[in-house]
Amino acid sequence: MSLAAVCAWSFLRSAAVALFAALLSQPLANVLVASKAPLATGSGINGRERTRRRAALLGRGVLWGLLLAPFLVPPLLVGYAYYRPALMLVHYPRTTEAIYWAVLFLRFFAAAVLIRVFAPPSPLSAEAIHCQRLLRPRNKARLRRWAADVFTWLRGSGQPSIAAFAVIFLSAFQEFEIAALMGITAGDVQSPASWTVWLFNWQAGGAPLSESLTFAMTPLFYELVVIVPALILLGSWMSSPWRVEREADGSVRARVASEIFLIAATLVIAGGPSLIVFRGALRGLQSRAATGPLLPEIGIAAAIASTAVLLIGILCAVALGFAPRRLRGAIVSLLCLPGALGSLVLSMGVLWLFQQPGLQSLSQSLVPVVLAVAFVLLPRSLILTAMLGSSRRAQAAHCARMLAQSPSAPQRRAAARLIDELEVRRFFWAGVLVWYWAYWELTAPSILAPPAATPFVVRMYNFMHYRQDDPLSVMIVASILVPLAAVALLAGARRFVVRWVLQ
């Protein structure tokens, strides 16, 4: 299968997954927004509200946990879990393809929901759209009326859907780890196709970088087909000062349906892999299976991720905060371009760069891998930062900062709590999310990490190839729990530091 054909197939698959996720995220986001609103308490609860409360099987925290679990499960783990089912289906490539579509959808749809919940709501209210329809002359042709409706949708209520579609499309289109472990190939006669695997295979026996870059142009073209229109359309949305209230759906039926869907998604994407891993880890611990010196490698991965987050933070601040407004679009596009090439091509480019005489002395450092990881994650991080910035409640934050100047200690304490809520907490958790992505990034470290500093994820992937279940499961559990504990500690420290500084 030629690269163009494989790319076209990958494009279709990613577009279908993204479309489905963008559509399905709407009712889910509405339910989550409804669950965000505090419930009325006391005797004033009416019958409908009481029914709604009874129907809510799961609390708000559990609902969010279920939503995020499939999204945050490392892709390696998902691929690892689906390796065997895919193998059993080797004679049924269409079924394997269908499973891959389902896995991609269930893994990424949470991102679409998050975009709908946290991104700024539409600048056009339903009333405004209705008024516009009423004002439209009745004698216009049907096609023109339809075009006007589409235009209104694009400039108004459709914008969160477009953002969700673009982000899911990019994530699904660039996916590699699950495809590789599920045996998705470069498009042989009997198997489904993925351009990432095709490009990987093309490197066999060594291909010049220029050739790889030439090949990377085809998938890049497909990405730009989605990214460029999305950026043009979303620019006005992000910068619009007009906001309307977000829709919320508190109906019992929607809530129950959402809960069932989220439980199923979590079981399929997070539950299965977790069961395999924890069962194996238990056996591994009982039999004291050798796990190898993993802690230093977890430390190396954490150091790479932390440095990458630091760099990403600086670049995001420069691009979205300090750069002149008229240059912002160009700077953001320039910063996103390397990441849009995909992890493999970008890492090869960085490898080549650090073989050049001026930079060669840094080739055995972590600088190349940190740079590559940062640029791989930069598009996602910029979207995240832009979303956080545009949904920021600036007036409330300003009031809280003024309150922090108060001579009264209780008021300063309250201000510290408010500032933490309004400003620090959001960026902290966004940083944790980017750090998490960097921590589990595989392709860049496997190509660029120097011999003295191989992160755990590279070693683990190597082990996964040989199905060493029990020791590997112990390693996986350790690699999840150690940073989890560190993040929990940091989250606690964050509250303490914010209050200590502001009081």
Partner 1 sequence: MPNKKRTAVAAAGIILAGALVSFAVWPRMFEAGTPVVNVYCAHDAIFADAIFDEFTRQTGIKVAITYDTEATKSLSLVDRLKREREHPQCDVFWNNEQVGTMDLAGQDVLATYKGSGYGRIPALYKDADGRWTGFAARMRVWIVNTKAMPPDREKVETFFKNHPEHCAMANPLYGTTLTQFSILWQLRGPEHVKSWRADLRQRGLREMAGNAPVKDAVAEGVCEVGWTDTDDFFEALDDKKPVAMLPLFVSDGKATGAESKYTIIVPNTVGLIQNCPHQSEAQRLVDFLLSAETELALARSKSRQIPLGPVDSQKILPEVRELAQSVPQGYDLRKLEMPRRECIDWLKSESRR
Residues 348-387 that bind partner 1 (CB under 8 A): 348, 351-352, 355, 360, 362-367, 370
Q: Which is nearer to partner 1, 49 or 188 (CB)?
A: 188
- The distance of closest approach from Cβ of residue 110 to partner 1 in the complex, given in angstroms and rounded to an integer, is 25
Our finding on whether 53 is near partner 1 (CB under 8 A) is no
- The distance of closest approach from Cβ of residue 357 to partner 1 in the complex, given in angstroms and rounded to an integer, is 8
Q: Which is nearer to partner 1, 206 or 324 (CB)?
A: 206
The beta-carbon contacts of 48-52 under 8 Å, at least 24 apart in sequence, are 51/252, 52/250, 52/251, 52/252, 52/255
Q: Report the C-alpha dihedral over residues 254, 255, 258, 263, rounded to 10 degrees.
A: -150
Q: Which residues from 231-250 bind partner 1, rule CB under 8 A?
A: none
Distance CA 159, CA 100 (A): 28
Distance CA 184, CA 174 (A): 13
- The distance of closest approach from Cβ of residue 378 to partner 1 in the complex, given in angstroms and rounded to an integer, is 17
- The distance of closest approach from Cβ of residue 11 to partner 1 in the complex, given in angstroms and rounded to an integer, is 18
- The distance of closest approach from Cβ of residue 350 to partner 1 in the complex, given in angstroms and rounded to an integer, is 12
Q: Which residues from 165-204 bind partner 1, rule CB under 8 A?
A: 180, 183, 185-191, 198, 200-204
Q: Which is nearer to partner 1, 389 or 450 (CB)?
A: 450
Q: Report the C-alpha dihedral over residues 15, 16, 19, 24, rounded to 10 degrees.
A: -150
> Which of these, 500, 197, 223, 178, lies nearest to 339 by C-alpha position?
223
- Say if residue 206 is exposed, middle or buried (CB neighbours under 10 Å; 0-12, 13-18, 19+): exposed
Q: Which is nearer to partner 1, 248 or 414 (CB)?
A: 414
Count H helices, E strands: the chain? 23, 0
Phi, psi of 39 (to 5 degrees): -80, 145
Q: Which is nearer to partner 1, 236 or 365 (CB)?
A: 365
> For partner 1, which residue of 39, 57, 87, 481 counts as binding (CB under 8 A)?
87
Q: Which is nearer to partner 1, 268 or 472 (CB)?
A: 472
Our finding on whether 214 is near partner 1 (CB under 8 A) is no
- The distance of closest approach from Cβ of residue 397 to partner 1 in the complex, given in angstroms and rounded to an integer, is 16
Q: Which is nearer to partner 1, 375 or 461 (CB)?
A: 461
The beta-carbon contacts of 21-25 under 8 Å, at least 24 apart in sequence, are 21/105, 21/108, 21/109, 21/111, 21/112, 21/164, 21/165, 21/168, 22/112, 22/161, 22/162, 22/164, 22/165, 22/168, 23/161, 24/109, 24/112, 24/261, 25/109, 25/112, 25/113, 25/115, 25/116, 25/164
Applying CB under 8 A, which part among 16-24, 62-70, 296-304, 330-338 lies near partner 1? 296-304
- The distance of closest approach from Cβ of residue 480 to partner 1 in the complex, given in angstroms and rounded to an integer, is 20
Distance CA 184, CA 194 (A): 7
- The distance of closest approach from Cβ of residue 83 to partner 1 in the complex, given in angstroms and rounded to an integer, is 8
> For partner 1, which residue of 206, 241, 324, 407 counts as binding (CB under 8 A)?
206
Q: Which residues from 395-414 bind partner 1, rule CB under 8 A?
A: 404
- The distance of closest approach from Cβ of residue 330 to partner 1 in the complex, given in angstroms and rounded to an integer, is 28
- The distance of closest approach from Cβ of residue 335 to partner 1 in the complex, given in angstroms and rounded to an integer, is 20
70-87 per-residue burial string, b: 16 or more CB within 10 A, e: under 16 = bbbbbbbbbbbbbbeebe
Our finding on whether 428 is near partner 1 (CB under 8 A) is no
Distance CA 137, CA 285 (A): 74
Q: Which is nearer to partner 1, 258 or 443 (CB)?
A: 443
Other Cβ atoms less than 10 A from the Cβ of 57: the count is 12
Applying CB under 8 A, which part among 13-21, 80-88, 129-137, 318-326 lies near partner 1? 80-88
Our finding on whether 497 is near partner 1 (CB under 8 A) is yes
Please compute Rg for the chain using Cα positions. Answer: 24
Q: Which is nearer to partner 1, 84 or 243 (CB)?
A: 84
Q: Which is nearer to partner 1, 89 or 128 (CB)?
A: 89
- The distance of closest approach from Cβ of residue 461 to partner 1 in the complex, given in angstroms and rounded to an integer, is 5
- The distance of closest approach from Cβ of residue 3 to partner 1 in the complex, given in angstroms and rounded to an integer, is 7
Q: Which residues from 437-466 bind partner 1, rule CB under 8 A?
A: 442-443, 446-447, 449-454, 458-459, 461-466
Q: Which is nearer to partner 1, 90 or 481 (CB)?
A: 90
Distance CA 482, CA 486 (A): 6
Largest CA distance in the chain: 80
Q: For residue 57, give the amino acid letter.
A: L
Q: For residue 350, give the amino acid letter.
A: V
Our finding on whether 306 is near partner 1 (CB under 8 A) is yes
- Say if residue 326 is exposed, middle or buried (CB neighbours under 10 Å; 0-12, 13-18, 19+): exposed
Distance CA 346, CA 213 (A): 9
Q: Which residues from 111-170 bind partner 1, rule CB under 8 A?
A: none
> For partner 1, which residue of 467, 481, 489, 491 counts as binding (CB under 8 A)?
467
Q: How many residues bind partner 1 (CB under 8 A)?
A: 71
